[in-house]
């Protein structure tokens, strides 16, 4: 079922609230990087992607990879709101024994397609999944969100060139241009200017 724009706005707001609740007071977490892609993730999970929480491994499902795995909170919130696991479990974030850790783990949580977080690797994994879809003649799409800080990694560009060469029109890369990376503003860290 496709949601209306008003419904999508409401879901995105709920996802942002879930992110804030997961971090809670005095806890570490990537609040900005998670919230900056809440609208995109909402549209993918609740409007665009073909997926089924009751059958998370169906072969023809669309795939979502969060290359910037440190922003896993937004994916956890979307998965919970979609029905992959109870929303109450979000409050176990980073607790001992929780399935919800700082980076997504495909072996612990349904709906996670790959372990991500080593920046630059997500797009390569996504390209491999897209190529597999072509080879297997399955009509799924692979969506991959990359951060604007991580695009300084050479592997991102190698994956993009490979995707072009192999005509992976079932791969959609989405850049989260929030102008920040772990150590500060991108303009101050990696702005294509000569070092001083």
Average pLDDT, the chain: 88
Instruction: Give the pLDDT score at 120.
Output: 81
Residue 113, CB half-sphere, CA atoms under 13 Å: how many?
24
The whole-angstrom separation of Cα 19 and Cα 89 is 12
Closest CA to 165 of 189, 130, 196: 130
Instruction: Give the pLDDT score at 194.
Output: 44
pLDDT one-digit tens code per residue, 14-24: 999 999 998 87
- pLDDT confidence tier of residue 132, bands split at 50, 70 and 90: very high
pTM: 0.88
Higher pLDDT, 42 or 188: 42
pLDDT one-digit tens code per residue, 47-68: 999 999 999 999 999 999 999 8
Residue 117, token pair as written in the block: 């977080």
pLDDT one-digit tens code per residue, 6-44: 999 999 999 999 999 988 755 666 767 788 899 999 999
Residue 66, token pair as written in the block: 């969060």
Q: Is the pLDDT of residue 81 over 50?
A: yes
Q: What is the mean pLDDT of residues 73-84?
A: 97
How many residues in the chain? 196
Q: Is the pLDDT of residue 195 over 50?
A: no
Instruction: Give the pLDDT score at 29.
Output: 66
Give CA 156 to chain center in angstroms.
15
Q: What is the mean pLDDT of residues 185-194?
A: 57
């Amino acid at each position: 079922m496709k949601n209306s724009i008003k419904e999508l706005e409401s879901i995105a707001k709920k996802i942002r609230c879930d992110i804030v609740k997961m971090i809670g007071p005095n806890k570490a977490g990537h609040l900005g990087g998670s919230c900056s892609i809440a609208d995109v993730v909402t549209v993918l999970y609740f409007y665009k992607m073909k997926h089924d929480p009751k059958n998370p491994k169906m072969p023809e499902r669309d795939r979502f990879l969060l290359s910037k795995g440190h922003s896993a909170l937004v994916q956890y919130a979307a998965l919970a709101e979609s029905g992959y696991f109870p929303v109450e479990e979000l409050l176990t974030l980073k607790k001992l024994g929780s399935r919800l850790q700082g980076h997504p783990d495909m072996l612990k949580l349904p709906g996670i397609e790959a372990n991500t977080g080593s920046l630059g690797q997500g797009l390569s994994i996504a390209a491999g999944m897209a190529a597999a879809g072509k080879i297997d003649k399955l009509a799924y799409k692979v969506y991959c969100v990359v951060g604007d800080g991580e695009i300084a990694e050479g592997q991102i560009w190698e994956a993009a060139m490979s995707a072009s060469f192999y005509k992976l029109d079932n791969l959609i890369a989405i850049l989260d241009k929030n102008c920040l990376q772990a150590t500060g503003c991108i303009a101050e860290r990696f702005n294509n200017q000569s070092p001083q």
